């Protein structure tokens, strides 16, 4: 699935949500498309057409997820659990298009592999590990 760009995946999911008559999913996917189009318009400025890449789209999705997390927290503090739940549902939909996040054990294993692979022996070798 990753061979397709994120924009294509979102558009396919949007079409499927229309077929499935899934209102919540359709609404969230439309918000994603609108955010992508807004970013393209801003990037375009005054000349022709500018398209944004996958990295920009992933940044937009990350920002949308962060905003919804903050909103959900605020709704929970205000005892509006219905609205908080809706925000969390939107987060789940948006995260479908983001790369999988590593858990703590996977991060530890990756760091250990990098340290071992670089031959680092002390804190002074940190540059080798990071390079």
The DSSP result for 62-128, as a single string, is: HHHHHHHHHHHHHHHHTT-HHHHHHHHHHHHHHHTTSPPPP-HHHHHHHHHHHHHHHT--SGGGHHH
pLDDT of the chain, 131 residues: tens digit per residue: 344 688 899 999 999 999 999 999 999 999 999 999 888 888 877 665 667 888 889 999 999 999 999 999 999 999 999 999 999 999 999 999 988 877 888 888 888 888 888 887 888 878 877 87
Residue with tokens 């908080």: 84
Instruction: Note the pTM of the prediction, 2 decimals.
Output: 0.71
Cβ within 8 Å of residue 107, ≥6 positions away: none
Residue 33 C-beta-side C-alpha neighbours within 13 Å: 14
């Amino acid at each position: 699935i990753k061979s397709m760009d994120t924009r294509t995946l979102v558009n396919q999911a949007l079409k499927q949500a229309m077929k499935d008559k899934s209102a919540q999913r359709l609404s969230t996917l439309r918000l994603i498309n609108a955010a992508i189009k807004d970013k393209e318009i801003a990037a375009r400025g005054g000349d022709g057409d500018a398209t944004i890449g996958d990295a920009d789209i992933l940044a937009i999705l990350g920002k949308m997820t962060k905003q919804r997390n903050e909103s959900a927290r605020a709704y929970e503090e205000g005892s509006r659990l219905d609205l908080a739940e809706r925000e969390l549902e939107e987060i789940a939909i948006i995260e479908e298009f983001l790369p999988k996040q590593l858990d703590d054990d996977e991060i530890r294993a990756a760091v250990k592999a990098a340290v071992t692979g670089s031959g680092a022996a002390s804190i002074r070798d940190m540059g080798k590990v990071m390079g």
